[in-house]
Every structure is written in C-alpha cells, then in structure tokens.
Structure 1
Amino acid sequence: MNVLIVEDEELAARRLTKMLAEIDPQVRVVHTVPSVETAVAYLQTQPELDLIFMDIELADGQSFEIFEQTPVTTLVVFTTSYDEYAIKAFKVNSIDYLLKPIKQPELAASLQKHHQLNRKPEAAPVQVVAIDALVNQLRQQTQLPEYRRRFLVRHLTQWLPIEVSEIAYFQADEGVTLFRTLTGQKYNIDYKLDELEAMLDPALFFRANRQFLTNINSIQQIHSYFNHKLKLTLQPAPSGEVLVSRERATEFKKWMGK
C-alpha cells in the first residue's frame, strides 16, 4: 500500500510513519509533504497512491485548498487537532478522520477501513464523490468567524471610522446605544447591545450586564460586591456603576483569566 503523508510537523509525520509500519509492514510511505503548495505539486505528478493522510492545518493554509488546485481521487484520512465532538459528524462513507495525537488502535481501524473498501471496489466512486461534500463541511466547521473590525459613526457633519480595538465599552442608556473609545470620545451607534455582542470577538468583549458590553482593555479594577456580584472600574469612567451579576461572575473570571 502506497501512502502519502501531508503534515507540516516533522515529528508528527515521523511518528505516523513509525505507527503505520508497526501496524502493517506492507504500508509504504512514499512521500511526506509539509504544505499545500508542495502537496499540490506532488499530486500533479500523478503518483500511484492508495491512501493519503492529510493534516487539516498546514504551514501555508488549510488542506482544503489542495482539492481546489488539483484533482484528488485517492482515499483521504484527515488528521486534526480539533475537538472530536466538533467534527464527529464528518466521519462519513469511507473517509475517516483521526484526532491528534493519533492513537494506534484508531490508526489501525482507518487502515482496516481502507482494506474493506478495496475488497468492495464498487464503493470507491461513492467515496470520491463524497470528498467534495466533506471538504465543504470541514471548511465551514474550521473557519474562524469574522468579527466586526470597525464602525462608521456620524460626528457633526462627518462620518468617522472607529476601529473596534479602540472602543472601551458600549453602553445602553435610555433606549440609546453609545460607545466610548479608550481615549474618552463618545459616539452614538445604531445597534442594540444584543446585536453588537454577536458582531464582536468574545475574546475581547464581555457582556457585563444589560447596560454594558466592555472591552477587556478598559477594565482597570475588579472588586467584590454585595450578593457575590463584581464591580468593575472602567477607563474612561462611565456614567453609573458597572456590575457583573452573581450568575455571570464565574464566567467573567474565566474570561479574564484566559
């Protein structure tokens, strides 16, 4: 069995090669490539391959790009560090995935799956057709969400672009939503906090309560408060107290500690 490994981590590639040899001495790793570019170049030489082990995240992009640049009709086993539960639905037909660090019993099961398919060649066309659908699903699953990077706000007779990273917090105040920048400027914005929360990177902004959505860089101090609440000191100082409810206090502490 001729195998290609597409893996940008040299240690992981060596480990996989060793495990394959231990499981089945007839497996021959004919080549190892570390990137989308080198994988495409190698596959375009039309090598005789029986199976490809393909890491999802490569040095120069995601392995899905390989399928866009050259036909891949060889059976593929994806390897990935993504959470098992996030991608378990993609274990369809004869295509398999292995969660890193790869375990020998799971690798052996993948090889057995390949052997079974070879005994049923009529199933191969189904496998090849399924690759496109699988790649699209995996791409959607692993793509990082795109968060809002700036807002265009009106100030007097001008429209000003304000980078999200410059915003200290958003505040809902008597039916109006406004925000303050880290340098103290105040602007109104035509979004509700619920809408803004969905637009913004949760690593940067936290919904403290119904009135405040705050940037982690604006938080100067955190104080214990009555009834297990937390009181935040923000810079620049807003009008009114900023409290994190008892129910959200634990989540807030985890968010601050990331």
Structure 2
Amino acid sequence: MNILIVEDEDIAAKKLIKTLGSVEPDATVLAVTTSVRETVAWLREHQPGRALIPDLILMDIELADGQSFQIFDQVEIDLPVIFTTSYDEYAIKAFKVNSIDYLLKPIQKDELRAALDKFMHRTKRYVQTSSETSAAVGNLLKELQKQLTPKEYRQRFLVQYASKLMSIDTHQIAYFFTDNRLNQIRTTDGKKMIVDYSLDELEEMLDPRQFFRVSRSFLVSITSVDQVQTYFGNRLAIRLNPNMDKEVVVSREKLTPFKEWMGK
C-alpha cells in the first residue's frame, strides 16, 4: 500500500509514519507534503502512467498556507482520502454526516488500524471516481463552514412600550415568557412589553450561553436566575429577578442541560 501524507507539523508526521509502520508494515510512504501548494504540485507530477501514485492519502485539514480543501479546487483527486483533524466533537459530526473517513488527533494505533481496514474493504467493492470524491469533500466543506463559522446572535429588539417604540438590548432583558398566549419581555428594571416572536423563534435568535429555555413558557437570562430550589418529581424551581408571580419550574427534559448551562 502506497501512501501520501499531507501534514505540516514535522513531529505529527513522524509520529504518524511510526504508527503506520507498526499497524501496516508493508505500507510505503511515498512522500510527506506540508502545504496546499506543495501537495498540488506533487499530485500534478504523480499521475497514472507517469509516476508511482499513492493508493491512499492521509491529509491534515489545517496546513501552513491554508486548509487542505483548497487542494481539491486545484487538482483532480480520484484517490481515497482519510482526513486527520484536531477539530472538536461538534465539527466531527460533519464528517459522519458526509461519510468521510477521518482520524482525530492525536492518532491512536487502533483507530488507524480500523481506518485502514475500512479503506481496504471499500477498495475491494468499488473505486471512487474523482467527481464522487470532489462532491463528498464539497459537501463536507459546506457543513464544516456552517458549523465552524461563529453564529451572529440577536443583540437588540424593537418593541412597543406604551405609545413609544423602544430598542431593547438583550443584556437589558431578564427573561421572555408566554402569558395568555402573548409572548412578552421582562426587562431587568421590571418593565413588561409584548414581543413579535414566538419563544421557539427567540430561542434560535439568542446566544445560548446567555439565554436558556427552561420550559415551554420561559426563556431566561443567566443573570436573572436568583435562586434554584429542589422541586417535587426530581425537578427544579427557579426564582427569577425581577420576581415572577407564578412558579417557574425547569421541565424534566431540560434538567440536565440546565445544570450544565448554569455551571458553564
């Protein structure tokens, strides 16, 4: 098995080669490229009939001069690729959704063995075309960009208070609640005003680090939680500031994420 390693960290490349040698002694590392530019040049030189080509590419995502996805824009790759990545578990979902093989750094021997076994099993069944590879990587890139791009959260709301329109910053809002089928804002200084969004819509708009949906009727700011008490049925009751004239109980399905949110 001939392998091309795309990795810009010398220590990581050497460790990968050592691990590879221990799990697949017959594997030959044809080259280690360290950048988008170098990899594109190497792949252009190593075409079928012209030079020895790899059976598999182990490719780091973050390279010295950009992301390895840029390689696919400049040269056709009709070879299986296993990405190596330091991305967190949230971003890893993108790989799973798009059926792209990946290894999470630091690369473990058993995980590399499993990935190679999976590769060899697949190659017995079919050969992936360059268009299929490009399409899969394109889908992966879109998903990663969507997940890794910081989301813009709502910073203020335009609401009517008495006979005036007011712009309310989110840090001035203690909580949102539903009462008599009306969705309302309660500000930190005690004002109440109607908001033209459902709590479902508001939950999507607001920074989840600041606001949490404790129940169907309440979406609260972390700064408004004055006290948390045990409640029957293994639930929690919270006292809000400004105080609410009804009990606010954290629903059972929200209990664990609420505790995690409060502890962040």
Instruction: Give the TM-score normalised by structure 2.
Output: 0.69
Name 2:132's counterpart in structure 1: 130
3-state DSSP class of the match of 1:153? strand
Report if the CA contact (8 A) 2:154-2:205 is conserved.
Answer: no
Post-superposition Cα deviations, 1:179-217, rounded to whole Å, max 9, x if no partner, equal: 234565544311111222244344443222232111223
Per-residue deviation, 1:170: 1.0
Q: Distance in 1 between matches of 2:251 and 2:217?
A: 12
Name 1:18's counterpart in structure 2: 18
Report if the CA contact (8 A) 2:36-2:67 is conserved.
Answer: no
- Give the stretch that moved more between structures: 165-174 or 181-190: 181-190
Of 243, 249, 255, which aligns to 2:255? 249
Post-superposition Cα deviations, 1:94-127, rounded to whole Å, max 9, x if no partner, equal: x63334443334434545676788899x93xx33
Report if the CA contact (8 A) 1:52-1:74 is conserved.
Answer: no
Name 2:158's counterpart in structure 1: 153
Give the count of matched residue pairs. 244
Structure 2 counterparts to residues 28-177 of structure 1, below 5 A: 28=29, 30-33=31-34, 39-47=35-43, 48=46, 50=54, 51-56=56-61, 63-68=68-73, 70-73=74-77, 75=79, 76-80=81-85, 82=89, 87-88=95-96, 90-91=98-99, 96-108=101-113, 110-111=115-116, 123=127, 126-142=128-144, 143-144=146-147, 146=151, 148-155=153-160, 156-158=163-165, 160=167, 162-164=168-170, 166-177=172-183
3-state DSSP class of the match of 1:45? helix
Report if the CA contact (8 A) 1:56-1:63 is conserved.
Answer: yes
Per-residue deviation, 1:2: 5.2
Per-residue deviation, 1:169: 1.6
3-state DSSP class of the match of 1:214? strand
Report if the CA contact (8 A) 1:82-1:99 is conserved.
Answer: no
Report if the CA contact (8 A) 2:61-2:69 is conserved.
Answer: yes
Task: Give ranges in structure 2 of 5+ residues lacking alignment.
Answer: 47-52
What residue identity is the alignment partner of 1:150? Q
Of 195, 204, 210, which aligns to 2:201? 195
3-state DSSP class of the match of 1:190? coil
Give the 3 Å change call, closer, same or farther, for CA 115–239 of structure 1 in structure 2. closer
Name 1:4's counterpart in structure 2: 5
Q: Distance in 2 between matches of 1:148 and 1:202?
A: 9
Report if the CA contact (8 A) 2:155-2:169 is conserved.
Answer: yes
What residue identity is the alignment partner of 2:230? S
Post-superposition Cα deviations, 1:36-90, rounded to whole Å, max 9, x if no partner, equal: xxx322234344462432234668876435434x335263211245477764454
Q: Percent identity?
A: 39
Name 1:36's counterpart in structure 2: none
Name 1:220's counterpart in structure 2: 226
Q: Distance in 1 between matches of 2:72 and 2:118?
A: 22
Report if the CA contact (8 A) 2:36-2:66 is conserved.
Answer: no
Q: Distance in 2 between matches of 1:220 and 1:243?
A: 13
Q: Distance in 1 between matches of 2:209 and 2:64?
A: 24
What residue identity is the alignment partner of 1:228? N
